[in-house]
Amino acid sequence: MTPESPSDPNTIDLGWACATDVGEGPVVLGIHGLPGSVRDFRWLGSALEPQLRFVRVDLPGFGGTPMGDSASPKAIADFIAKFIEEYIKEPVVVLGHSYGSIHAAEVGYRFPEWVQGVGLVNPWGIEPHRGYRNTPNFELMRRAMRTPAVKSLLNPLVVKQFKSAGFKRINALEARRTFDRLAHFEWPRHIEAIRGLQQSTLVCWCDDDYLIEADIVQRMADIVPEGPRLRFETGGHNSQKTHAVELADAIVPWVNSL
CATH code assigned at 16:
3.40.50.1820
pLDDT at 153 exceeding the cut of 90: no
% of the chain exceeding 70 in pLDDT:
96
Residue 101's domain spans which residues? 12-128+186-257
**Domain contains 109:** yes
In this predicted structure, what is the pLDDT of residue 150? 66
Cα 63 to Cα 57: distance, rounded to the nearest angstrom: 9
In this predicted structure, what is the pLDDT of residue 136? 72
Q: For the residues 209-216, what does the mean pLDDT come to?
A: 96
Residues 6+ apart with CB under 8 A from 240: 40, 41, 43, 44, 97, 121, 122, 204, 247
Number of domains in the chain: 1
**Domain contains 161:** no
The pLDDT tens digits for 77-115 are 999 999 999 999 999 999 999 999 999 999 999 999 999
**Domain contains 251:** yes
Positive/negative CA dihedral, 22, 54, 39, 184: positive
Confidence label for 243 from pLDDT (cuts 50, 70 and 90): very high
Positive/negative CA dihedral, 156, 157, 158, 164: positive
Per the CB < 8 A criterion, the answer to whether 256 and 26 are in contact is yes
Confidence label for 188 from pLDDT (cuts 50, 70 and 90): very high
Q: For the residues 48-66, what does the mean pLDDT come to?
A: 95
In this predicted structure, what is the pLDDT of residue 193? 97
pLDDT at 146 exceeding the cut of 80: no
**Domain contains 247:** yes
**Domain contains 72:** yes
Q: What is the mean pLDDT of the chain?
A: 92
